[in-house]
Structure 1
Amino acid sequence: MDAPPLRIGYVPLTDAAPLVVADALGFFAAAGLRVVLSPERAWATLRDKLAFGVLDAAHLLGPMAVALAVGAGGLKRRLDVTLRLGRNGNCLVLSHALADAAGAVAPPLPAAAFAAALHARAEEGLPPPTLGVVFPHSSHNYLLREWLASGGLDPDHDARLVVVPPPQMARALAEGAIEGFCAGEPWGSHAVALGAGRYALSTGDIWPDHPEKVLAFAEGFALRATDQVVAATAAVIEAQRWLDDPANRPAAAALLAERVFPGMPHATVAAALEGCVAAPPGGLPARLAAPLGFDPDHPPSPATAERWFAAMRRWGHLPAGAAEDAARGPWRPDLWQRAAARLAPSASTPIPQEPAA
C-alpha cells in the first residue's frame, strides 16, 4: 500500500516559493515523495493544523516554532525545524496620512521621525495609530516593536498592534481599519501598487539579512518518517538553489502569479523576487537594501531561536518558567546536513554564518 502524501501547508507569501517550486518543477517527485500543498489564509489556521496533525509540515514563522516549543499562547508542541526558507522579505507600509505626518523622508523611515509624528498626534488628543502585524509570535511583530522602541516609543502604549492575516492587509489599510502594517511580500507591494499606502521601510533595515520563515515538521513526524523529512528538506534546498539563480526569477514570478496569487498583477508578484517594492501609481519601484533571499546553503541555527526567545521575553510574551533550551530544541541542523548531503555541493559554499543581530 502506498504511503499517504506528505501534507505541507503555507500562507500565500513570496517566501513560500521554495515549496511551490519544489512541487511544480518535480523536485519532490524526484526525491520519491508525493506531496500535497495546502494554502492557508491565516497563520493561526496553519499553526493549529500543524499542531493537531492535519498537516505534516509547514512554511512557518520562526518565532511561532519557539512559541509552540515553550507553550506561549496556550498551545505546546515540539516541532522539528529542518531549514530556514529565506531571509528578509517583509515591509512596513503606512497610510498616506500617517506617512505625511512623519515627513517627506525617503525609505527607510527613521524611527525618530515616526516617533515625533506620533508624539505630535498625541498632543492633539488623537489616539495611537492602529498597525497590523501578521501574528503575535512573528518576526514582523518583534522587529516592528524593536524599531518603535529604538525611536523611544512604547509599542504597547504609543501604538495599537493588531493581528491581520497577510492577504487582508491591503484591504484593511485601504478601508481605514488600520493605518499601517508590517507583512511579508507581496502584500506590502500590493498595497503600494493599489495606492492604499506608502512603503516606509523593510524589516531588513531593522535587522539586515534576518532569518525569516522556516520549514517545520509536526511533532513526532521526523521520528516516525525520518527518510521523508530528509528527502523533503533536500527537495526544498534544491528549489532554493533554483530560486537564487537570477536567471530563474522571471519563471519563478510567473509560477507564483499563476499558482499562489491569481488575479494579482505580475509586476507586483515579481517585485520581491527582484529585490524591490512594487511601484505606486505613477511612480517607480523602490529597491531594497536587504532584499528577500532563499539561503540554500544556510542550515537552521539555534541562535535564531535564542534571538526570538529574547524578544518574546522582552515584551512579556513568555509563559512562566519558559526555558531557552526548550526554545532551541526544534532547530535541527543535523537533519539539514543529512538533506544537503544528498545533493551535489552548491557553488555558493562555504556556508555563511548567522547574520549579526
Structure 2
Amino acid sequence: MTRRLTADPLDPKASLSGCGCGRHASPLACSAEVPDGEEAMAEVAEAAVLRAVFPEAATRRALAQRFGAATLLAALASVFPIEAAKEAMAQGGTSGAGAPEKRDLKVGFIPITCATPIIMAHPMGFYQRHGLNVEVIRTAGWAVIRDRAIAREFDAAHMLSPMPVAMSLGVGVAQPIPFAVAAIENVNGQAITLATKHREKRNPRDWKGFRFAVPFDFSMHNYLLRHYLAENGIDPDRDVQIRSVPPPEMVANLRADNIDGFLGPDPFNQRAVFDGVGFIHLLTKDLWEGHPCCAFAVPRSVISETPNTFAALMRAIVEATAYSQKAENRREVAAAIAGQNYLNQPETVVNQVLTGTYADGLGQVRRVPDRIGFDPFPWHSMAIWILTQMRRWGQLRQDVDYAQVASQVFLALDAGKAMRELGLPVPGSPLRTETIMGKVFDPANPAAWTERAIRA
C-alpha cells in the first residue's frame, strides 16, 4: 500500500524546498511512490497547479487565507483544466504511465549535433518505444523554428537553451509566450572557428575589426563569445561585428570571406576543417566545462493539456540522451544521424565530433572524448547565468527574479523524475556553482555577472 500525501499544498512547509514523503531535503531526491486512489491523485493535481501558478509559498498562503483554498481552486479551474489534470493523473499516476493523449507529433530541429538525442530517437526507435509516432522536421534557422513552435506547427522543438527564457519573458517576441526547457540536449559541443588566413592570430586581442557569426542573438554562442572577447579586452559591440547566421550557412560564409570566424555548433566547426577553409581555435568546453547549449523545448500548454504525451516524450528524450552519452554508442549514433534526412553531413565529420578524435585544422589530431556531452538535467544555475548575460548585453532591460524565472522555465523536477524512472542519477538540488573562464559563478549571488565590464 502506497503512502497518502497529507500535506496542505498551501502550507509553506510543503513547498518545493521539501518532498512529498517528508524524508528528503528536495523533491529531486525523493523516489517515493505517489499515492494510489482518485482522491489522492486529485490532491496531487491541485497542489501541482497551485505551485505552478503561485511558485512562492508565502503567496499561496496569503491568497488562501484571504479567499479560502476552495475559492482559490475554483477560480483557477475557470482558466486552467484542473479536472483534466486530475483525470490524467488518475489514469496514469504521476509516473505518466497513462496512454498518450496525442500520439502523432511533429518535432522541429536544426541539423546540428546538439540535436543528437532528438534526431537519433527517430531512426533508432526511442519515440516508438514510448508509444509515440514522431515526425522530426529539419528546419532552416532559429527564428523559423521559434515561429513555427509558437504557431503550434510543432508540438515540441529543438531550441537554443536561452530561447524559451527569452520567449517566456517577452524578449525578442511581441508578447510573453510561456515555453519551457523540458531537458537539456547537449553540454559543450561548440567551438570558435577562424578562417585559415588567421592561423597566426591566435590572440583574441588581435581581433579588432573581425566579423563573427553566431547562430542567434539568444544563444549560448552569443553570450560565450561576448564574454570571451570582453575578458580579453575586446568590446563585442564596438571592436568587432557579431551577426546571426544559420549554422548550415556558416562554412559557406567563411569560405566566401563574409566572416572571419564563428562561435557555432558542430558539425560545422569540423566541416570547416574538413573543407580546408578554417581551423578550430578552441572548444567552448575550455571556457566553461559542462556548459549548456541546446534544449528540448515545449509550450507550457502542452504539459497541462496532454500530460501523458509530455511524460512519454520526456522519457523518450531522456533515454535517448543517456544512450548518446555513452562512448561505446557514439559511432552507431553518428551513423544514424549523418544521413540526408537528418544532418546531411559526411559520416566522417560527425564521427570526429561525437568521438572527440578530430583534426583541428592546424595539423594536429586531438583526442577530447568529452568534446560534446549529453546530460538532460536543466540546472537552474544555467538559466540564471543566461539571464545575467541577457541583462549584461541589453536584451533584458528590466530587473526580474532570476531564481523564479529559472524555476518556471527550466523544468528540473520533470527532468529529474524522468531520469529517476530510467535509473539515472538525479542531483539533489537544481543549483550548483559553475566555473567560467576560471571564475566562479554563484547562482545565489549573480549580480556581478550583469555588469558590462571589458577587461583591459
Task: Tell me if both proteins adopt one fold, taking TM over 0.5 as the criterion.
Answer: yes
Compare CA radii of gyration and give the structure with the larger one. Answer: 2
Instruction: Determine the structure 2 residue equivalent to 1:124.
Output: none
**Pair 318,327 (structure 1): closer, same or farther in 2 beyond 3 Å:** farther
- C-alpha RMSD over aligned residues: 2.2
**Pair 67,320 (structure 1): closer, same or farther in 2 beyond 3 Å:** same
The one-letter code of the counterpart of 1:10 is F
Moved segments of 4+, more than 6 Å: none
Which of the numbers 261, 275, 278 marks the counterpart of 2:343?
261
How far residue 100 of structure 1 moved from its aligned partner, in angstroms, is 2.0
Instruction: Determine the structure 2 residue equivalent to 1:204.
Output: 285
Instruction: Determine the structure 2 residue equivalent to 1:275.
Output: 356
Q: State the alpha-carbon separation in 1 of the partners of residues 128 and 252 from structure 2.
A: 37
The one-letter code of the counterpart of 2:118 is L
Q: State the alpha-carbon separation in 2 of the partners of residues 304 and 72 from structure 1.
A: 18
Instruction: Determine the structure 2 residue equivalent to 1:114.
Output: 204
Instruction: Determine the structure 2 residue equivalent to 1:77.
Output: 177
Q: State the alpha-carbon separation in 2 of the partners of residues 205 and 48 from structure 1.
A: 33
How far residue 249 of structure 1 moved from its aligned partner, in angstroms, is 1.4
The one-letter code of the counterpart of 1:223 is S
Q: State the alpha-carbon separation in 1 of the partners of residues 359 and 133 from structure 2.
A: 35
The one-letter code of the counterpart of 2:126 is F
**Pair 40,186 (structure 1): closer, same or farther in 2 beyond 3 Å:** same
Which of the numbers 289, 314, 322 marks the counterpart of 2:392?
314
**1:77-129 residue CA offsets vs partner (Å, 9 max, x unmatched):** 11122211121000111112333233xxxxxxxxxx211x235xxxxxxxx11
Q: State the alpha-carbon separation in 2 of the partners of residues 80 and 270 from structure 1.
A: 31
Tell me if 1:295 matches 2:395. no
Tell me if 1:66 matches 2:165. yes
**Pair 207,326 (structure 1): closer, same or farther in 2 beyond 3 Å:** same
Contact 1:69 1:78 in 2 (8 A): yes
Q: Which structure 2 segments of 5+ residues have no match?
A: 1-100, 436-456
Q: State the alpha-carbon separation in 1 of the partners of residues 327 and 370 from structure 2.
A: 16
Q: State the alpha-carbon separation in 2 of the partners of residues 140 and 45 from structure 1.
A: 18
Contact 1:194 1:280 in 2 (8 A): no
Alignment of 1:2-41 (within 5 A): 3=102, 5-41=104-140
**Pair 222,214 (structure 1): closer, same or farther in 2 beyond 3 Å:** same
**1:264-288 residue CA offsets vs partner (Å, 9 max, x unmatched):** 322111111112444549x443334
Alignment of 1:1-357 (within 5 A): 3=102, 5-75=104-174, 76-102=176-202, 113-115=203-205, 117-118=206-207, 128-258=209-339, 259-262=341-344, 264-278=345-359, 280=361, 283-288=363-368, 291-296=371-376, 299-320=377-398, 322-324=400-402, 325-343=404-422, 345-346=423-424, 349=425, 351=427, 354=432, 356-357=434-435
For these two proteins, the number of residue pairs brought into alignment is 331
The one-letter code of the counterpart of 2:144 is T
Aligned-partner SS, 2:218: coil
Aligned-partner SS, 2:391: helix
The one-letter code of the counterpart of 1:74 is V
- What TM-score do you get using the length of structure 1 for normalisation? 0.86
Q: State the alpha-carbon separation in 1 of the partners of residues 432 and 337 from structure 2.
A: 28
Q: Which structure 1 segments of 5+ residues have no match?
A: 103-112, 120-127
How far residue 232 of structure 1 moved from its aligned partner, in angstroms, is 0.7
Q: State the alpha-carbon separation in 2 of the partners of residues 290 and 200 from structure 1.
A: 17
